Structure 1
């Protein structure tokens, strides 16, 4: 199973994307901004293909296990082997302030310059998670980040 994240709009704070599972659009995404050199908590992960595993410890896992996602939660979707990054998760959030390099998901994205934000993140998370968690548990899930926005970023 394959998740593709098409990064389509960026500004100096955030990156908005469309997220597809096996070619079908599922939701939108939000990440930190592009930087040629990584700055902790302020840089999106490099374009490329990564494996996705399941992380079953930590603050997000505990919160999602005992909260609104308790009925579906089997562990956090964990993007593996990203150079210079650790503990990159897919989770809920609204703005780039809610991520330190992770991928946030939502049902819609508002791309106002320097004020990008997601709409209805829990609904999108539930939909994406239930589609891909079993593949992640069996080691059969990848995620690809595609920089369709990069020419716009470099021009700014």
Structure 2
């Protein structure tokens, strides 16, 4: 399975993107902003291709087990990111809800003049999570590629 995040708008505090699963659009995404020098919890991960696994430890995992009993199998964990750890795909709405992780949503608010955000994040998560988690459970190779297609970025 191949996931692609196409980053299309970079603002002062956030980056908006589109999530595709095997070439089909699934939802919008939000990450922290671009920084040439990493600031812990405030910087998006570098563009690249990374392996996705299920992570069955940590506070997010425990919280999601309670929130989604019978549904949650483990956090979608983006692995192999240079100089980053614990990068997850999870629920959230704005840059305050992420520390380098990828948030998903059904709609967005532009980050050009305002702070960007994704909306209906839980709905989007419930839509994308099952097929990705099932593929990982079935021992399929699951990869996520982050692509920078942003023409203008602010630092």
TM-score (norm 2): 0.94
Deviation (angstroms), 1:139? 4.9
Residue 109 of structure 1: aligned partner: 108
C-alpha distance in 1 between matches for 2:41 and 2:47:
17
Larger displacement relative to structure 2 (1-10 or 107-116): 107-116
**Residues 31-46 of structure 1 mapped to structure 2, 5 A cutoff:** 31-46=31-46
Residue 70 of structure 2: aligned partner: 71
- Give the match's secondary structure for 1:30: strand
Residue 58 of structure 1: aligned partner: 58
Give me the CA root mean square deviation: 1.2
Residue 142 of structure 2: aligned partner: 141
- Give the match's secondary structure for 1:66: helix
Structure 1, residues 9-60: CA drift from partner, whole Å, max 9, x if none? Answer: 1111000001000000000000000111111011000000000011001111
C-alpha distance in 2 between matches for 1:125 and 1:34:
24
Asked whether the 8 Å contact 1:30–1:118 carries over to 2, the reply is yes
C-alpha distance in 2 between matches for 1:40 and 1:70:
31
Unaligned runs of 5+ in 1: none
Equivalent residue pairs, number: 153
Structure 1: 4+ residue segments shifted above 3 A: none
TM-score (norm 1): 0.94
Deviation (angstroms), 1:127? 0.7
Unaligned runs of 5+ in 2: none
